[in-house]
């Protein structure tokens, strides 16, 4: 059961080669198949998560949430998708049309690319990169460009202000987020996510790096623009932030990309700090799903519990608190590794 997907991919490749395709083309076709499966996983996850967050927010606010379309309102997300697909696509006359139309597509493409290196189970990875964790951080940082394009291309002062806010916030919190992962890299001795999972065979890194885990979670919340750090979309100040001028499916692409990023960041947290796909009895792919959704539920809990904070407090918290704490964590990790090696315990 553990190697079921791997065997299926091997059979698929061998079948293509037996039909006359060269090994290079067969590998390319296998890569396309993996991407199709990733897109299917993303779509299913988004449908589930949007419904789940509405139910959870309804629970916190003592109301029912979606309860009309389908059992327990499970078809509400599908109805919303149909509504967005059929809404009028409005492009402002003064907008830079090329940038305005390209920004949402770029945002969703960047979000999907994050799944390239995440181990979704034992030997279940699109590409096994030696620098997988570096690839994830680098690709994720490109989403700042897409948001800046949306704000600039809209030719709207509120959109531009929201884009600048978002860029400042994402750049600021990318620093402690990257620093929080350095302790894990130092302990495992690798940038490869499969190696990091293997290094947690005996003990999860959340127990060895509790401070790094907390820093990563806070920084990831800000990177995802989720409450209480959703300042770039502060409706009472900026209407809709960088997305003010977007309607219909173009706005939906930003919305979908945010949830796609949420799953990817949660999956990375489960991989780096919670043992990844490792676990007893159950299949490896089921373990990563359980751990990822556990992290996502905490994101939902935080969003619907704490009020939005001020922008200046948000920036100060990153540079004056999280960055120094992450540097202290790196120093303590290095000292701990040196001590354990000096004592001959590792």
pLDDT in tens, the chain (346 residues): 455 566 666 776 777 777 777 777 777 877 788 888 888 888 888 888 999 999 998 988 888 888 888 888 888 888 888 888 888 888 888 888 899 999 999 999 999 999 989 998 887 888 888 888 999 999 988 988 999 999 899 888 888 888 888 888 899 999 999 999 999 999 998 999 999 999 998 899 999 999 999 999 999 999 888 878 877 666 556 566 788 888 888 888 888 898 999 999 999 999 999 988 888 888 888 999 999 999 999 999 998 888 888 888 888 999 999 999 999 999 999 998 888 888 777 6
Model pLDDT, residue 261:
92
Model pLDDT, residue 270:
94
The number of beta carbons lying within 10 Å of the beta carbon of residue 301 is 12
Total domains, the chain: 2
For the entire predicted model, the pTM comes to 0.89
CA 131/CA 136 separation, integer angstroms: 9
Query: Helix/strand/coil (H, E, C) string of the chain?
Result: CCCHHHHHHHHHHHHHHHCCCCHHHHHHHHHHHHHHHHHHHHHHHHHHHHHHHHHHHHHHCCCCCCCCCCHHHCCHHHHHHHHHHHCCCCCCCCCCHHHHHHHHHHHHHHHHHHHHCCCCCCCCCCCCCCCHHHHHHHHHHCHHHHHHHHHHHCCCHHHHHHHHHHHHHHHHHHHHHHHHHHHHHHHHCCCCHHHHHHCCCCCCHHHHCHHHHHHHHHHHHHHCCCCCCCHHHCHHHHCCHHHCCCCHHHHHHHHHHHHHHHHHHHHHHHHHHCCCCCCCCCCHHHHHHHHHHHHHHHHHHHHCCCCCCCHHHHHHHHHHHHHHHHHHHHHHHHHHHHHHHHCCCC
Model pLDDT, residue 34:
82
Q: Are residues 33 and 180 in the same domain?
A: no
Q: Are residues 80 and 194 in the same domain?
A: no
Q: Are residues 280 and 178 in the same domain?
A: yes
Model pLDDT, residue 235:
58
Model pLDDT, residue 269:
95
Residue 192 in contact with residue 268, Cβ under 8 Å? no
- Provide the token pair at 213: 């885990």
233 is in which domain, residue-wise? 96-342
Q: Are residues 323 and 218 in the same domain?
A: yes
Q: Are residues 191 and 268 in the same domain?
A: yes
Model pLDDT, residue 298:
94
Q: Does any domain span residue 262?
A: yes
CA 195/CA 342 separation, integer angstroms: 24
Last residue of a domain, one of 24, 53, 86: 86
Model pLDDT, residue 77:
87
Q: Does any domain span residue 91?
A: no
Angle between helix 157-188 and helix 210-223 axes, rounded to 10 deg: 160
Q: Are residues 60 and 192 in the same domain?
A: no
């Amino acid at each position: 059961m553990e190697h079921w997907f791997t065997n299926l991919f091997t059979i698929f490749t061998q079948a293509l080669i037996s039909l006359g395709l060269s090994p290079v083309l067969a590998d390319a076709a296998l890569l396309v198949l993996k991407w199709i499966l990733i897109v299917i996983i993303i779509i299913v996850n988004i449908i589930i998560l949007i419904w789940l967050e509405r139910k959870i927010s309804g629970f916190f606010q003592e109301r029912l949430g979606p309860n009309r379309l389908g059992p327990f309102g499970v078809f509400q997300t599908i109805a919303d998708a149909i509504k967005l697909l059929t809404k009028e696509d409005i492009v402002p006359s003064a907008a830079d049309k090329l940038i305005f139309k390209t920004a949402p597509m770029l945002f969703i493409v960047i979000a999907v690319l994050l799944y390239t290196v995440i181990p979704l189970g034992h030997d279940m990875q699109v590409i096994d990169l030696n620098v997988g964790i570096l690839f994830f951080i680098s690709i994720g940082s490109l989403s700042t460009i897409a948001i800046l394009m949306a704000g600039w291309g809209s030719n709207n002062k509120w959109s531009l202000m929201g884009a600048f806010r978002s860029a400042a916030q994402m750049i600021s919190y990318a620093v402690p987020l990257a620093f929080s992962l350095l302790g894990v890299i130092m302990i495992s001795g690798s940038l490869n996510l499969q190696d990091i999972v293997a290094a947690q065979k005996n003990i999860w890194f959340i127990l060895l790096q509790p401070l790094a885990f907390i820093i990563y979670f806070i920084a990831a919340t800000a990177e995802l623009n989720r409450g209480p750090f959703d300042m770039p979309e502060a409706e009472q100040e900026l209407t809709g932030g960088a997305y003010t001028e977007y309607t219909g499916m173009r706005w939906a692409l930003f919305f979908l990309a945010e949830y796609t990023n949420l799953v990817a960041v949660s999956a990375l947290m489960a991989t780096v700090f919670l043992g990844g796909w490792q676990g007893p009895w159950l299949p490896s792919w089921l373990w990563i799903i359980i751990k990822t959704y556990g992290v996502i539920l905490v994101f939902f809990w935080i969003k619907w519990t704490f009020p939005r904070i001020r922008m200046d407090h948000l920036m100060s918290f990153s540079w004056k608190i999280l960055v120094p704490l992450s540097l202290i964590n790196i120093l303590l990790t290095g000292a701990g590794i040196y001590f354990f090696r000096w004592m001959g315990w590792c």
